[in-house]
A and B are shown apart, each in its own frame.
Chain A
Amino acid sequence: MSVYLNQVKAIVWKDFVTELKTRELFSSMFVFALLVMLIFIFSINLSIVSANEVGPGVLWVAILFAGTLGLNRSFMLEKENGCLQGMMLAPVDRSAIFFGKMLSNLAFLLIMETFLLPVFMIFFNVDLVSHLGPLVGVILMGTLGFSALGTLLSSLSSNLKTREIMLPILLYPLMVPVAIGAVRLTGQILDGKSLADMMNWVGLILCFDIIFISASIMTIDHILEE
């Protein structure tokens, strides 16, 4: 088990070192998320609709779009210099590669979100600090589901001719439960209500996370196969 964990850790570490050297991914994801938010702010009239109503939607759309950018990049880097080949030649389980990539995708997204949330708070003039706890929980759950399914589909689409186009087309319809659930829960939190009467959504997103992490473990062997 500790060998397996070390393998996962090595892959995550490798991704972090690459990112620290290039600083490509984080900056592009963050700036893109900001732009998505800005475009939404231009397209909705914040003096008519309340920020609590549209805010969660805008936040999650920004996260999903920026996340797609990151996912596309994540396996393209591996492809470019034949790194994926190297990882597959290494004596590690395929699911370790999946977990490594998933965790690094998750970590990048979470870092991006920590920078995005203060900006969101300022732009939409909402108070996040007072209910930070449940909000962090919802963001963790949603982002975990997104990176699990996203990593699986990104490993698959990176081998296609039109990878940048196919990833969102495959990913977004499948992300519908998390997208709706996360927006609902975030809205509930911003309204200052407790999550107690929305536990069915929490259960749904957790189900999504568990189902797609296990589905990925079972199918990743068939994707990473040359």
Chain B
Amino acid sequence: MSEVAQETDSPGYGLLGLAGAGVMTALAAIFIYVPTEKTEGIIQRIMYFHVPSAWIAFFAFFIVFLCSILFLWKKEREWDIYAHASAEIGIVFCTLVLITGPLWAKPVWGVWWVWDARLTSTLVLWLIYVAYLMLRVQSEPGSTRARYAAVIGIVGFLDIPLIHFSVLWWRTFHPSPKFITTQGLGTGNDPSMNITLLIALGAFTLLYFLLMSLRVRLERMKDEIDRIKKERLYSH
């Protein structure tokens, strides 16, 4: 038992260092290295947080999908922990996307929110995974919760392409705003901007793995405490 405890206690110092260095480099690149954009001004720098957050959110939800399938197939608690941890991190980054987006949009577009396809699908995605986490809270811990959550994890991800196309077509019937095209990777023709964005993407990815390892460790500790509690309860 002590071996198990030792193993779960080992913090990934290597990963911590790597993610820390990555985030520092990204911050330096975003605030010092990269020149300020001409038309949008200082607010454009939010893009270096917005785009990586969106990438991490989608990546995290994809991991939820994979781990949900693996859980239903193998029925190992491990996959349930991974899916849960990834969904929580995904929600955090999806929330960041939904916060940084309007912050950028207000000065640049003049409005907080547009019912554009990308914005709408991000919002719907956020709602799906909030429901996923609510389901986890509402159901009894154990295999039932893991099975139900896995079903939602799979069904939710399968729905993403359908939602994407439906909101895309929903809006193409209206004149689509031209400024949407300036958003995304195509903005930075300057190589320094592309480099900064790549650094930020890398740093966020490292951050994701760091958060994952911490969250998974926490969940394993919880399991361990539950097990010890039960042991105590039955030994007296």
Bitwise interface map of A from 136 to 155 toward B, beta carbon under 8 Å scored 1, else 0: 00000000000001001100
* B170: interface (CB < 8 Å): yes
* A28: interface (CB < 8 Å): no
- What is the minimal beta-carbon distance from B136 to any residue of chain A, in angstroms? 11
Q: Given that A166-B135, A211-B158, A219-B72 are known contacts, is A176 also in contact with B163, CB under 8 Å in the complex?
A: yes
Q: Given that A215-B155, A222-B147 are known contacts, is A180 also in contact with B166, CB under 8 Å in the complex?
A: yes
* B31: interface (CB < 8 Å): no
Number of residues of chain B lying within 8 A (CB) of chain A: 28
Bitwise interface map of B from 140 to 176 toward A, beta carbon under 8 Å scored 1, else 0: 0000100110111011101100110111011001000
* A82: interface (CB < 8 Å): no
* B46: interface (CB < 8 Å): no
* A160: interface (CB < 8 Å): yes
- A173 near B128: Cβ-Cβ < 8 Å: yes
- What is the minimal beta-carbon distance from B14 to any residue of chain A, in angstroms? 37
- A170 near B135: Cβ-Cβ < 8 Å: yes
- What is the minimal beta-carbon distance from A98 to any residue of chain B, in angstroms? 12
Q: Given that A161-B138, A204-B166 are known contacts, is A174 also in contact with B151, CB under 8 Å in the complex?
A: no
CA of A16 to CA of B135, assembled, Å: 31
Enumerate chain A residues within 8 angstroms of B165, measured Cβ to Cβ: 177, 200, 204
* B42: interface (CB < 8 Å): no
Residue of B nearest to A172 (CB): B127
* B192: interface (CB < 8 Å): no
CA of A201 to CA of B173, assembled, Å: 12
* A44: interface (CB < 8 Å): no
* A27: interface (CB < 8 Å): no
CA of A152 to CA of B154, assembled, Å: 12
* B187: interface (CB < 8 Å): no
CA of A222 to CA of B131, assembled, Å: 19
- B163 near A219: Cβ-Cβ < 8 Å: no
Residue in contact with B151 in the complex, picked from A152, A200, A204, CB distance below 8 Å: A152
CA of A153 to CA of B154, assembled, Å: 12
- What is the minimal beta-carbon distance from A180 to any residue of chain B, in angstroms? 5
* A225: interface (CB < 8 Å): yes
Enumerate chain A residues within 8 angstroms of B159, measured Cβ to Cβ: 174, 176-177
CA of A177 to CA of B127, assembled, Å: 14
* B139: interface (CB < 8 Å): yes
Enumerate chain B residues within 8 angstroms of A215, measured Cβ to Cβ: 154-155, 158
Chain A to chain B contacts (Cβ below 8 Å), 16 pairs? A156-B151, A159-B139, A160-B135, A160-B138, A166-B131, A166-B134, A176-B167, A177-B163, A177-B165, A200-B165, A200-B169, A208-B162, A211-B162, A212-B155, A212-B158, A223-B148
Which B residues fall within an 8 A CB radius of A?
A: 72, 124, 127-128, 131, 134-135, 138-139, 144, 147-148, 150-152, 154-156, 158-159, 162-163, 165-167, 169-170, 173
